[in-house]
Structure 1
Amino acid sequence: MRAVLFDFSGTLFRIESTEAWLRAVLDDAGIVLAEPELGQVAKALEVVGAQPGGVFPERLPEGLVELWRVRDESAEAHRAAYTGLSRQVPLPRADLHDALYARHMTPAAWAPYPDAADVLRGLSERGLGIGVVSNIGWDPRPVFEAHGLGRFVDAYVLSYEHGIQKPDPRLFAAACAALEVEPRDTLMVGDSAEADGGAVALGCRFHLVRHLPVPERPDALRPVLDLVG
C-alpha cells in the first residue's frame, strides 16, 4: 500500500449527540427548555434525520426525496435537504433551524475517534499518502485543523466540490490522482459498505469500520496500520 483514503463522518470523526447539538444552539440563543421538552425535541430531530452526520431519516417527506438523493453534490442541496428535514420539527424560533445547520459545521460539534491521531501519525511516519474522501456539503478542513489532525492529511476530495457522490468511482479516482498513486496500491477506510465500498470497483482495497459513538469505538482504526504492511 502507498496510500490510505478515509471517510470523514463515522470513520475519523463523530458528530455530537442530537441533544448536545440542540442544547448548544439553544444556549447560544439564550433559550431555556425544560429537560423533558428538550429531550423530546432532540428525539424528534433525530427521527426526521435533521442532523448531518447523525442517523438517516426514518421517512423522507415526498418533497425532499429527490433533494435527499443528491444532497452531497452541492453545498446548496446539502443545506436545503437538512434544513428541510429540520423544519418538520417545531422549534421555539424559526431561525433556529439555520442555527442548527450552522452548528454542525463547527469543530466543537465533532470529536475524533480515540485512535484517529495515532493511526494517521503512524501512516504519515511510514511515508504513506493520506486522503479524505467524503460525501459532504461543506469544508471539513477546519475541523481537522482544530483537532490537530489536519497536518496528516495530504488531500481532501469532497463530493460537493466535485458534484459527484460516493460510491461513484470517479471520486476515489480523483483522490488517487491527487495523491499520485494507483488504486491497486490504495486502501479505502469507511463506515459504509455501499458508499465507501465503491472504491473496490476502481481497484482499491476496502476496510469497513462501524459508525459508533466515540466512547464505544476506541481502537477500530488500528488494524489499518497492519493492513498497509
Structure 2
Amino acid sequence: MTAVLFDFSGTLFRVESTESWLRAALNDTGQALPEPRLKAAAAALEAAGALPGGANPVELPEDLAGLWAVRDKSAELHRAAYTGLTRRVPLPDPGLYDALYERHMDPQAWAPYPDAAEVLRTLRERGIGVAVVSNIGWDLRPVFRAHGLDRYVDAYALSYEHGVQKPDPRLFSVACAALGADPRQVVMVGDSKEADGGAAALGCQVHFVEHLPVTERPDALLPVLDLVG
C-alpha cells in the first residue's frame, strides 16, 4: 500500500458532546440557562441530530429530508440543514442557533482519538501518503493545525469544495490523484460503511472503525499500520 485515506469525524476526530456544545455557545453569547432547562435542551438537540458530527436525527422532518440528503455538497446547504434542525428546539435567544453552528467549527469542539497522532506520524515516517476525505460543509484544516496533526496530512478532499459527497467514488478519486496513488494500492479508513465504503468502487481496500467517544476508543486506528506494512 502506498497511501491511506482517512475520514474526519468519528475516525480521526470526535466532536464534543451535545451538552458541551450548548454550554459553549451559551458562554460565547454571554447567556445562561438553569441546569434542568440546559440539560433538557441538550437532550432535544441530540434527538434532533442538530450537532454536525454528532448523532443523526431520531426522526428527520419531512421538509428537511431533501436538504439533508445533499447537505455536504456546499457550505450553504450544510448550514441550512443543521440550523434547520437546531431551530426545531426552542432556545431563549434566536442568536443561539447561529452561535451553535459557529461553535461546531471551532477547533476546541473537536478532540483527536488517542492513537491518531501516533498512526499519522508513523505513516509519514514510512513514506505513506495521507489524505483526509470528508463529507463536510466547512474547512476542517484549522482543526488539524490546532491539534498539531496538519504536518502529517498531504491532501484534503472535502465534499463541499468539490460539490460531491461520499459514497460517490469521485471524491475518493480526487484524494488518490492528489497523492499520485493508484487506488488499488490505497486503504480508506472510516466509520461509515455506507459513505466510506464507496472507496471500494475504485479498488481501494476499506477498513472500518467504530464512531465512539474518544475515551472509549483508545487504539482502533493502530491496525492500519499493519495494513500498509
Cα offset, 1:133, TM superposition: 0.2
Deviation at 1:34, TM superposition (A): 1.5
For residues 91-170 of structure 1, the aligned pairs below 5 Å read: 91-170=91-170
How far apart are the structure 2 equivalents of 1:29 and 1:193?
38
Aligned residue number for residue 40 of structure 2: 40
- SS of 1:197's equivalent in the other structure is helix
RMSD: 0.5
What residue in structure 2 maps to residue 89 of structure 1? Answer: 89
Shift of 1:10: 0.2
- Aligned equivalent of 1:215: 215
The separation in 1 between residues aligned to 2:44 and 2:115, in whole angstroms, is 32
1:11 aligns with 2:19: no
C-alpha displacement at 1:27, in angstroms? 1.1
Report % sequence identity: 72
Alignment of 1:60-75 (within 5 A): 60-75=60-75
Q: Does 1:227 align with 2:197?
A: no
> For the residues of structure 2 that align with 1:218 and 1:79, how far apart are their CA atoms?
31
Give the match for residue 21 of structure 2. Answer: 21
Alpha-carbon deviation of 1:39?
Answer: 0.6
Partner Cα separation in structure 1 for residue 82 and residue 227 of structure 2: 36
SS in 2 for 1:156: strand
* Counterpart residue number, 2:206: 206
Q: CA deviation at 1:31?
A: 1.4
Letter in 1 for 2:2: R
| More divergent stretch after superposition (4-13 vs 28-37) | 28-37
1:134-193 CA distance string (max 9 Å, x none): 000000000000000000000000000110110000111111000001000100000001
How many residue pairs get aligned? The number is 229
Give, in angstroms, the shift of residue 37 of structure 1. 1.1
Using structure 2 for the length normalisation, give the TM-score.
0.99
- Give structure 2 stretches of 5+ with no counterpart: none
Aligned mates of 2:30, 2:165 — CA distance in 1: 38
Q: Which amino acid aligns with 2:132?
A: V
TM-superposed CA distance for 1:32, in Å, is 1.6
TM-score w.r.t. length of structure 1: 0.99
CA distance in 2, matches of 1:105, 1:184: 33
Cα distance in 2 for residues equivalent to 1:204 and 1:30? 48
Tell me the SS of whatever aligns to 1:68.
helix
Alpha-carbon separation, structure 1, partners of 2:33 and 2:155: 42
Q: Is the 8 A contact 2:141 2:150 kept in 1?
A: yes
Please tell me whether the aligned partners of residues 107 and 142 of structure 2 are also in contact (alpha carbons under 8 angstroms): yes
